Amino acid sequence: MKKPTSTAPGEASGLAIPTLMPVGRRLFMRYAGFTALSATAVMEACTMSDHNVPGGMVVDLGSGDFGVLNYAYALEQLEAAFYTMVIDMPYANMTPEERRILTEVRDHEIAHREFFKAALGSNAIRMLEVNFSAINFSSRDSVLQTARVFEDLGVSAYNGAGRLLTNPAFLTIAGKIVSVEARHAAVIRDLLQPKTTYFAGDDVVDPATGLDVVRSPMQVLPLAQPFIKNTISGNNLPTM
């Protein structure tokens, strides 16, 4: 497919940011201000840094802003693969409303994944192999609890990664995507416990600050690793 031809913020640093287009708001009408993102162009991504070592394939996320964006790309790959399986193998007695919600969440995660793939181009890591053997896709509770874990983890990961970016354009995009992920987290929690304040519990809000939980890549990657067959290395990512 064609590479975006328009100049976008970030090209000066070697990364052309595809244009972001708004998608439907049906899923989160109850949550004001929601705008989802999708990429308008997708290009083939090449392996940036992976190699065979004893114990399996290691995928190095890289360094600098490219590394941080690959970090987000890896998490979006994980979420997109998960929700794709949820829809392909719906749990017992999934209601039409739940199917609609989870389908839209799947579509948003795929859009995020493809955006990062297009933006990174030849700097993108390979497509990861997922390991969902611990998830019972026929169980509503197993699926929704796993979805909650993934969404909460993703929000905390974006919160922690933003400070590592040096390009303001990338930070703006990360801020837009994390707002979508936060609304995913809220609607999943609402499915688990309707009409409660579960979506803003102490497990996702730092009681000391009243703000969302923030995790560094070194805290997030060990939590995501059990769901990924490849070994993900963030050793070259920037730190504070």
pLDDT value for 196: 64
- Three-state secondary structure call for residue 37: strand
Q: Could you give the angle at the alpha carbon of 106 between the alpha carbons of 238 and 206, nearest 5°? A: 50
pLDDT value for 19: 40
Is the pLDDT at 20 greater than 70? The verdict is: no
pLDDT value for 85: 98
pLDDT value for 193: 85
When the pLDDT of each residue in the chain is averaged and rounded to a whole number, the result is: 78
pLDDT value for 199: 52
Query: Which residues share a beta bridge with 212?
Result: 205
Q: How many CB atoms lie within 10 A of CB 136?
A: 13
Q: How many CB atoms lie within 10 A of CB 43?
A: 20
- Residue 80 CA to residue 82 CA, distance in Å, equals 5
Confidence of residue 84 (pLDDT cuts 50, 70, 90): very high
Higher pLDDT, 196 or 63: 63
pLDDT value for 195: 72
Enter the DSSP assignment of 63.
S
Confidence of residue 105 (pLDDT cuts 50, 70, 90): very high
Q: Write the pLDDT tens digit of every residue in 165-211.
A: 999 988 888 889 998 998 899 899 889 988 765 555 566 666 666 56
Structure token digits, residue 202: 């102490």
